[in-house]
Chains A and B, each alone.
Chain A
Amino acid sequence: MLSNIKKKDLFIYLGVLAFALIAPNVFSDYRIQFTFWLVLIILAITWNIQGGEMGYNTFGNIMFFGVGMYVCSGIQIGLFFDLAEWTVSGGEKTFVHTPDQYFQGLWIGLLAAAIIPAIIALVIGYGVLGLRGHYFAICTLGIGIASGEVAGGIELIGAGQGMTAPPWPKDIGGTEYRNEFFYYLTLALFVMTFVFIKWLYSTRFRLVLNAIRDNEDKAEAMGIETMRYKITGWVISAFFVGLAGGLVGNIVGYIEPVEVAFDGREMGVFMVLMCILGGKGTLWGPVIGASVFHIFKESFWSFFLGWQYVALGVLIIVIVVYLPEGIMGFLREKKPEWFGEVMDEEDRKAQVTLD
């Protein structure tokens, strides 16, 4: 696989990796922001599998995020203590994880946080992915919100009050060390996700997804078992989004159904927005979109104190109306040679636009 990467690209990858390794240590006050930046990129590139490559605009990937969060923390606690008592007590004082218990719980929890959302995607995929177009969009919107409402009614996981994730064992290092640990864990997940999806896009799989996006009936008529590919794509997204959710639950430390876990108004919209902002259906688009969006959000959100959602609403409308092809689409139109497209100048001048 390495041999396929061109020299110029390798340079970019090494640069990004070096930045990701060094920058959080230079700007150590912003380590949490860097962590969330990576999480947003993971959410955007996994959303792109559905929204960009396959043409299935889902609002429901947030469900995998929330399920991953609850599953990871639930297992971290449930392995060693009584989950019901934990949520009732608010996770205070009486229950303390030893470092060994904490890390055992974390690894098992993360594993489950990846597998259980993937299984859910597999089970509901057959029913839900058969819907087309806006029916799919609204159905997944319903799924995302329903899961938050259901989680808000289950007493075991703290109902509407939410529950705390296991606190970091203080014996092995303070909050600084904790942030550093979770940053590198998120970075590892990001690299894993990116490499996997880059590999995936170099296979026939991406061509099939694009065929589904362009004309599903035709793809089917050509003998492609579209449903199998659609479900596989969703399972892959669910796997990585669930992992990201499990990590975020631990980073935030407090899991609440509507505002944190199944936050359709924030994360659920962000992933769609970032992907469209960067450019749907490209590998780098979501990465760029997530980065631009995160920088915008972190630098301006504090100016809009209390007005964040108003700004978000305006941002959605502006992006959807004026930048539907995203940054990558804009660049592609202006600088086609960057994308390896050869343009004949004579030919382009000879083109006549009809109005």
Chain B
Amino acid sequence: MDLLIFEHPILIVQALMDGVLLGILFALIAYGMALQWGVMNIINIAQGELVIMGGYVAYFLYMYGIHPAYGVIVSPIVMYFVGIGIYKLVINKVVDKDLFTSILATFGISILMMQLMNFVFGADVVVAQSNFGTTMLFDNSVTLPNSKIFASAVSVLAAIVLVLYMKKSKLGRAIRATAQNARAAKILGVDTEKVYASTFGINAALCGVAGALIAITFTLHPYVGLPYTVRSFMIVIVAGLGNLPGVALSGMGLGVFEEFADYLLGTEFRIAAVFLLLVLILVYRRFKLARSREYLK
């Protein structure tokens, strides 16, 4: 246990700001997960791998000398088609099966993507330098990389665009109708198959945006996808489906939690803290929801 953070209160400010900026990114990924969970009733374990693959698209641009920030535009387009492809190949066969089937199938996809990325990009930790510089606050005692500020601004923008799209466009309305009642929507002439495919594609595109931002602000590695899946799952169960402010808030909360865990327990326990928090949240939720049960002796 390292208590340095409480001896220097300015570190608390630093951790809070880092956490909030990080959390906005998590919220974006979680929003995609909530979307497909609500519409298709599947939990996508490969969510994190979609994010990392999106990041590698931006890194690919960077390798060819293009500024990685353009990845924010390119990556969602590429990932949209990757998402549609995955849907056509696998997901459409498990979408009406029970949830565990989809969990296991997407787990298979996640292992597959992990390994393919490992082949293409190697097992090294990579980062796409954005050269955005840093902003100093409070007499140079709090440093904020501009790339993180850029990342959260883009995330917020992407979320706003998506919300407007879901509210205004025809496809958005079809998606919302399918989420409410797939059978009724089908009867009323909605092509649910197409809706599912586009939902999965939109989710993958969101992951692409988030991945490109992660490539700029943090690091990429083929095997770090699963923590992103778990983070978004956690955010969704805390916030509930279709609750955007809740998703944003709990995302930020998770970001702050992680930064504090990082300072207090050390970086080696950071991922462990995330997974333990997941277990704690689920168990807490179970006790909260459990009715008081009594038995005849």
On A, residues with C-beta under 8 Å from B are 57, 127-128, 130-131, 133-135, 137-139, 141-143, 145-146, 149-150, 152-153, 159-160, 220, 223, 225, 265, 269, 272, 276, 306-307, 309-310, 312-317, 320-321, 324
- Tell me whether A131 and B268 are in contact in the complex, defined as CB-CB below 8 angstroms, given that A313-B115, A317-B108 are known contacts: no
Q: How far is the CA of A128 from the CA of B230 in the complex (A)?
A: 17
| Cβ contact within 8 Å between A149 and B271 | yes
| Cβ contact within 8 Å between A320 and B105 | yes
Counting residue pairs across A and B whose Cβ atoms lie within 8 Å, the total is 123
Picked from A57, A152, A265, A324, the residue with its CB within 8 Å of the CB of B268 is: A152
Q: How far is the CA of A265 from the CA of B97 in the complex (A)?
A: 24
| Cβ contact within 8 Å between A320 and B295 | no
25 A-B interface contacts by CB (under 8 A): A127-B283, A128-B283, A130-B287, A131-B282, A135-B285, A137-B103, A138-B43, A138-B230, A139-B278, A142-B278, A142-B282, A145-B226, A146-B275, A159-B268, A220-B293, A269-B107, A313-B111, A316-B104, A317-B90, A317-B105, A320-B104, A320-B108, A321-B94, A321-B105, A324-B97
Picked from A127, A133, A150, A317, the residue with its CB within 8 Å of the CB of B272 is: A150
| Cβ contact within 8 Å between A153 and B282 | no
| Cβ contact within 8 Å between A309 and B283 | no
CB closest residue in chain A, given B223: A265
Indicate with 1 or 0, residue by residue over B104-123, a CB within 8 angstroms of chain A CB atoms: 11011111111110010000
- State whether the Cβ of B26 lies closer than 8 Å to any Cβ in chain A: no
- Tell me whether A130 and B286 are in contact in the complex, defined as CB-CB below 8 angstroms, given that A146-B272, A313-B111, A314-B112 are known contacts: yes
> Which B223-240 residues have C-beta < 8 A from chain A?
226, 230, 233, 237
CB closest residue in chain A, given B266: A153
| Cβ contact within 8 Å between A139 and B283 | yes
Q: How far is the CA of A317 from the CA of B109 in the complex (A)?
A: 7
CB closest residue in chain A, given B90: A317
- State whether the Cβ of B290 lies closer than 8 Å to any Cβ in chain A: yes
What are the nearest 9 A-B pairs in CB distance?
Answer: A313-B112, A316-B108, A149-B272, A146-B275, A309-B115, A313-B111, A127-B283, A317-B108, A142-B278
Q: How far is the CA of A315 from the CA of B104 in the complex (A)?
A: 11
Q: How far is the CB of B1 from chain A (nearest CB, A)?
A: 13
Main DSSP-derived SS at the B contact region: helix
Q: How far is the CA of A152 from the CA of B112 in the complex (A)?
A: 25
| Cβ contact within 8 Å between B296 and A223 | yes
On B, residues with C-beta under 8 Å from A are 43, 90, 93-94, 97, 99-101, 103-105, 107-116, 119, 226, 230, 233, 237, 266, 268-269, 271-272, 275-276, 278-279, 282-283, 285-287, 290, 293, 295-296
CB closest residue in chain B, given A310: B115
- Tell me whether A134 and B43 are in contact in the complex, defined as CB-CB below 8 angstroms, given that A139-B282, A153-B272, A313-B115 are known contacts: yes
Contacting residues, chain A, for B99 (C-beta < 8 A): 133-134, 137
Q: How far is the CA of A314 from the CA of B105 in the complex (A)?
A: 9
Picked from A127, A159, A309, A317, the residue with its CB within 8 Å of the CB of B287 is: A127
Apart from A139-B282, A146-B276, A160-B268, 14 more pairs, CB < 8 Å = A57-B104, A130-B287, A135-B237, A137-B99, A137-B100, A137-B103, A142-B230, A142-B279, A220-B293, A265-B111, A310-B116, A313-B111, A320-B105, A320-B108
Picked from A131, A146, A220, A313, the residue with its CB within 8 Å of the CB of B109 is: A313
| Cβ contact within 8 Å between B282 and A309 | no
Most buried by B among A141, A142, A269, A310: A142
Contacting residues, chain A, for B43 (C-beta < 8 A): 134, 138
| Cβ contact within 8 Å between B112 and A310 | yes
Contacting residues, chain B, for A220 (C-beta < 8 A): 293
Contacting residues, chain B, for A160 (C-beta < 8 A): 268
| Cβ contact within 8 Å between A131 and B108 | no
Contacting residues, chain B, for A321 (C-beta < 8 A): 90, 93-94, 105
| Cβ contact within 8 Å between A145 and B114 | no
| Cβ contact within 8 Å between A153 and B108 | no
Contacting residues, chain A, for B266 (C-beta < 8 A): 153
CB closest residue in chain A, given B97: A324
Q: How far is the CB of A18 from chain B (nearest CB, A)?
A: 36
Q: How far is the CA of A130 from the CA of B279 in the complex (A)?
A: 12
Picked from B100, B111, B268, B290, the residue with its CB within 8 Å of the CB of A309 is: B111
Q: How far is the CA of A141 from the CA of B269 in the complex (A)?
A: 17
Q: How far is the CA of A100 from the CA of B293 in the complex (A)?
A: 53
CB closest residue in chain A, given B37: A134
Picked from B100, B108, B233, B279, the residue with its CB within 8 Å of the CB of A143 is: B279
Picked from B112, B268, B279, B287, the residue with its CB within 8 Å of the CB of A153 is: B268
Contacting residues, chain B, for A142 (C-beta < 8 A): 230, 275-276, 278-279, 282
